[in-house]
Amino acid sequence: MMRVMMGIFLAMSVVFIYARFVEPHILVVKHQEIDIADGADETFKKRVALVADMHEGMFGNAVSIERIVVKIKEENVDAVFIAGDFLYHAGRDELGELFGSLKNLDMPVFAVMGNHDVGYSGQEILKKLDFSDDLDKILSEYGVEVIDNKIEKIELDGVKLTLIGLGDLWAGKADFSLLEKSVESETTIVLAHNPDVSHYFPKNASVDLVLSGHTHGGQIRIPILYKYALPSEFGFDKGLYDVNGLAVFVTSGTGMVGLPMRFLIPPEIDIIDLIL
């Protein structure tokens, strides 16, 4: 019995050490192709990077923005989409230093805020920690266009897209009325922190793809058990979903909340080849 107990203790120690000191530093790049051309005679392929949930601030073992930028630049992407939660208990005076590397991205970069950026994570005391104005200012200085509740007509090497950014769902900041302005003849992408927004779209919305984060893929991905901790009302985890004919892609992100650990779901940047 003593040997069994020692074996269990050693195994748990190894898992803890790995989850705390090893996996959070691993940064993987995954590739995904998403076809939203809807059978068009002529199609185009555009490559974008999707990043979310960097959660810079409290945890020193979070993947740095500098490493994320270096990886993205290796992938020859046409644009970068950042789906919110830049922060996790960071100081206002740290923002410039934390995100300065973003200025080194030499392609269009679009972003929305997440629940931790606007100070809402389900706890009353955190509702006062709204850093969105400070973060918006810093990001703009570094060439990142924050599009919370905005419609942007963009062009990627000659290919026109409509990009709609939604404010954070949990904070009640998502303006779904913007989606009523979507046009069927246009290719429309929604950037939103929380993938649950896809279940609240107005019936007349003409959207081709939603790009989101928020779930961390469970962050500590203990088989079966992690699913009960996913912060999604509709069971979003990670990867590509079909929501009543709407493509929704969820990245598991790069950072951490709660505990400075990741297990069986290392920090991830998603490179998406869009067929338009």
State pLDDT tens for residues 159-169: 999 999 999 99
What is the radius of gyration, based on Cα positions, of the chain?
19
Calculate the alpha carbon distances from 179 to 84, 93, 110, 202 in Å.
Answer: 19, 36, 18, 7
Q: What percent of the chain has pLDDT over 90?
A: 84
Return d(Cα 99, Cα 81) in angstroms, integer.
15
Return d(Cα 120, Cα 122) in angstroms, integer.
6
| Residue 73 near residue 272, CB atoms below 8 Å | no
How many CB atoms lie under 10 A from the CB of residue 132? 20
Residue 124 has pLDDT above 70, yes or no: no
**Where do the H-state alpha helices sit in the chain?**
2-17, 65-73, 95-99, 132-141
* Domain range 2-275, CATH architecture: 4-Layer Sandwich (3.60)
What confidence tens digit (pLDDT) does each residue in 14-40 have?
989 999 999 999 999 999 999 998 877
108's tokens: 């269009």
How many CB atoms lie under 10 A from the CB of residue 147? 20
Write down the mean pLDDT value for the chain: 94
Residue 258 has pLDDT above 70, yes or no: yes
140's tokens: 């703009």
